[in-house]
Amino acid sequence: MLYREALNRALDELMQKDENIVILGEDVGLYGGSYRVTEGLVEKYGEKRVIDTPIAELSIVGNAVGMAIGGLRPVAEIMTANFSLLAFDQIINHMSKFHYMSNGKIKLPMVVRFPQGVSRQLAAQHSESYEQMLSAVPGLRVVATSDVNHAYHALKKAILLDDPVVFIEHELLYNKKGEVDFNDTQDPFKARVVKEGKDITIVSYLKILDDVTASVAAIEKELNCSCEVIDLCSLNPIDYETLAKSIKKTSRLVMVEEDHKTGGFGSQIVSWAAEELFYSLDAPPLRIAGEDVPIPYNRKLELASIPTVDSITKKVIEWGHKNGL
């Protein structure tokens, strides 16, 4: 199954069970979804439940908030992360706050999904990542999904929860292949140990996790060590428990993210580790992140703006040598 098919299946299964679940977004219906996540659903559930909206992101999220108030469970799709900026007022001022400022009287069972990140030469206005801003908003659950199995389970949970959830996908993951384990009982909103190890904890999420996984063999060989790789899955709340358990075991932390380094999400993980686990660490944490530049169009420049398998491998090895590995 492909990642996009896993998302589609999660939507389909739940829509079949609950007619309060509706989808809204640009080209989600007749067109079949820009990344084919909602393919076939309008034919099955009709235009009242799979709603093609005008290009008006503020209204896509703003209407979803109102639908949730009115008793529906909307799943809003924003075509790409950069467009979500037009809906930030609704996401941050409305979606995240109504439950708290009504003292729990209003609940918003809703999901806002969008893909983000560097794909292939889409340039500065179609390549960015916003988990750093959104995960810093109290009241919003933020989930980033990196594989087929997790995508299926996490989207189902996001839809079933009575909380507002921002569900982050990645443009390069839609055609990723994998299997769904229908008997998976792990909480998809908790961090997952993707690979066990004992010397270095490498924390990542979303698409760049694949690059981390691909670089591990070379790192382990060169440093003669073993790496534990953790997929964060939930960026708010953060599953510190799973992280702490791993870091206490390995005594070393590497944080890898695709986004611009300054103010990036990983800075929260590293500052938390510095505050809480300082005496458990045998080396200063290493952060590998994108450059502080808008994403350029040229392929060579584009690739130089984000971490890659090569740069991750090189940086971790250099850091390892410097720190006694």
> Among all residues, which ones are annotated catalytic?
57, 126
Options 2, 40, 136, 139; binder of another protein; rule CB under 8 A = 139
Q: Are 230 and 273 in contact (CB under 8 A)?
A: no
> Of 259-318, which residues contact another protein (CB under 8 A)?
none
Q: Are 233 and 191 in contact (CB under 8 A)?
A: yes
Options 43, 162, 282, 310; binder of another protein; rule CB under 8 A = 162
Q: Are 159 and 21 in contact (CB under 8 A)?
A: yes
Q: Pattern 30-59, binding to another protein, x per CB under 8 A?
A: ------------------x--x-xx-x-xx
Q: Are 7 and 152 in contact (CB under 8 A)?
A: yes
Our CB check for another protein shows the closer of 180 and 253 to be 180
Query: Closest Cα to residue 112, out of 71, 172, 59, 39?
Result: 59
Options 11, 23, 65, 288; binder of another protein; rule CB under 8 A = 65
CB count within 10 Å of CB 148 equals: 23
Our CB check for another protein shows the closer of 71 and 324 to be 71
Q: Pattern 81-120, binding to another protein, x per CB under 8 A?
A: --------xx--xx---xxxxxxxxxx-------------
Options 36, 190, 249, 261; binder of another protein; rule CB under 8 A = 190
Query: Closest Cα to residue 82, out of 25, 122, 138, 37?
Result: 122
CB count within 10 Å of CB 248 equals: 12
Our CB check for another protein shows the closer of 47 and 292 to be 47
Q: Which residues contact residue 240 at a Cβ distance below 8 angstroms, ignoring those fewer than 6 apart?
A: 272, 276
- Interface residue list for another protein (CB under 8 A): 22, 48, 51, 53-54, 56, 58-59, 61-72, 74, 89-90, 93-94, 98-107, 138-139, 141, 156-157, 160-163, 187, 189-190, 237
